[in-house]
Chains A and B, each alone.
Chain A
Amino acid sequence: MIVEILIYLFIAIGLTFNLLAVIGLLRFPDVYTRLHAGTKCTTFGSIFLCLAVMIHALRIWYLNGEPSSSIMPIHTLIALIAILITNPTGAHAIARAAHRSGVKPVKAVVDDLEEDRECHSKKSST
């Protein structure tokens, strides 16, 4: 009973954060702030969804004791680790590509990268 409440709670938390990511994608003004919403919230939501799946699978494994029931929690854990590594890496690649192709951050108060790149190109041209 407590386990089931925990599972539903984790699914609710995960779906809430994924929903916030969707709202953020629609509301934020430019590519960088949208990436903020698209990486942090989806990763955190996916962690809780994976935790819910793992608790459910571990309970099944505990109840029937078959070794084949261990496949689901272990593979969910592998999927979770893969998400944790690839999600920020992909966001970093998109942000870098966007800045290299000249997308400026909207309403930015400071842009050290742009300044450094201008300094560098002046040095190399003179």
Chain B
Amino acid sequence: MKAFAVTAIVAFVAYLILTAGSGHLALWSIDEIIIGVILSIIVGILSRGIFVKKSYRMLNPKRWLFGLAYIGPFFIAMAKANLDVAYRVITGKIRPGIVKISPNLKTDLGITMLANSITLTPGTLSVDVDEKSNDLYVHWINVKDEAMKKMPRDYRYVCKNFPDWIRRIAE
């Protein structure tokens, strides 16, 4: 029942976002809201087993607040990444390499978020993932010597403290 409610509410919100601006009741027309309720009930019945896995940890509002707060440092890192890549595009100074990092994340959602964050931030691009230990292989455009000393490499040089943020959001 809880799985059905979560799926139906998410489907209804998605429907409302896509049909905003159709009428004068706030932003929606009555017809769209009625159709949306019917459709989200159908979607909730059909896909509750696919959408909701075992745990309900993402329902905790604290995780959503951390997710919103994560946008700030993420955007700053992303701006730095772009200036860095712009500098390398113009000068052509590169020192590439593929390094392995162990962020110690356990869930699929966490590792997906981290891989996407790494691809969008300073000079790094995720290439492959070890599915047993959740280690990431990262292509790094400017390998620093101090990060090469021990194995597996220290993730702070590659992606700062993003794994700690993502542990708070998704695990």
Residues of A within 8 A of B (CB): 17, 20, 23-24, 27-29, 32-33, 35-37, 39-41, 43-44, 67-71, 74, 78, 84-85, 87-89, 91-92, 95-96, 99, 105-114, 116
Contacts and interface: CB of A to CB of B under 8 A. Distances in A.
B86 A107 contact: no
Contact of B96 (A85, A89, A107): A107
Nearest to B86: A20
Contacts of B128: 95-96, 99, 113
Interface string B141-168: 1010000100001000000000000000
B45 interface: no
Interface string B3-23: 000000000000001101111
Most A-side CB within 10 Å, residue of B78, B89, B137: B89
Given A41-B82, A111-B97, A112-B98, 13 more contacts: A20-B85, A33-B141, A36-B141, A39-B120, A40-B85, A43-B78, A88-B116, A92-B115, A99-B128, A107-B94, A109-B96, A110-B98, A112-B99
A47 to B, nearest CB: 8
Interface in B50-104: 78-79, 81-82, 85-86, 88-90, 92, 94-100
B30 interface: no
Interface residues of B, number: 42
B143 A109 contact: yes
Main SS of the interface on chain B? mixed
A116 B100 contact: yes
A116 B100 CA distance: 9
A28 B90 CA distance: 10
Contact of A32 (B79, B99, B125): B125
A17 B86 contact: yes
Contacts of A71: 20-21
Contacts of A24: 85, 88-89
A37 B96 contact: no
A41 B86 contact: yes
The 6 closest A-B pairs by CB, nearest first: A88-B119, A110-B97, A112-B100, A71-B21, A24-B89, A70-B21
A36 B123 contact: yes
Nearest to A113: B137
Contacts of A23: 89-90
